[in-house]
Homo-oligomer: A and B are copies of this chain.
Amino acid sequence: MIILGVDPGTATTGYGLINKEGQKHTLIKYGCVLTPAKTPLCDRLDAIFDELSEIIDEYKPEHIAVEELFFAANSKTAIAVGQARGVILLAGKKKGLAVHEYTPLEVKMALTGYGRADKNQIQQMVKTLLGLKEIPKPDDAADALAIAICHANTFRPEA
């Protein structure tokens, strides 16, 4: 089963594709949708929607897992992340993917069994669980892979 994990942000949206076969996960691809500073918001959202739609067409993931946030440093950040999440969820929906959402706590628990794990611990687990030589860069891509692994380890198909 191919899973697309996404870490939403208007300036940088990270994505990671993994293949779950039984208990083993393998890396397919990871990266970021980057938009230059001063790019109008609409163009950023358009780029996020289009690039994710293209990735879905090319790699045909069955599920998309997106970070779910309830808290943010401030309203401005929350609205910005919400806007990116909106077009990411829409891209998944339009392509007929099953959409799943996980909180940062759920991601931490799924990867380390410890809800207060820090960013470095999560990234080390991403590296280990996918058998990589290095931690994926940038952080947004590593976070997206963590969300994909969280879904792979959490999701149980309904009987």
A→B interface (CB under 8 Å)? 40-43, 45-46, 49, 69-72, 75-76, 78-87, 89-90, 92-94, 99, 101
Complex interface: chain B residues within 8 A of A40 (CB): 99
Sort A-B residue pairs by CB-CB distance and give the 10 closest, nearest first. A82-B82, A86-B86, A78-B78, A83-B86, A79-B82, A42-B93, A75-B78, A82-B83, A72-B75, A86-B87
Which B residue's beta carbon lies closest to that of A49?
A: B90
Q: Which of B41, B46, B69, B78 contacts A94 (CB 8 A)?
A: B46
Which B residue's beta carbon lies closest to that of A86?
A: B86
Q: Which of B72, B76, B90, B92 contacts A87 (CB 8 A)?
A: B90
Complex interface: chain B residues within 8 A of A79 (CB): 69-70, 72, 78-79, 81-82, 85
Q: Which of B72, B75, B82 contacts A70 (CB 8 A)?
A: B75
Complex interface: chain B residues within 8 A of A87 (CB): 86-87, 90
Taking a contact as CB atoms under 8 Å apart, the answer to whether A70 and B76 are in contact is yes
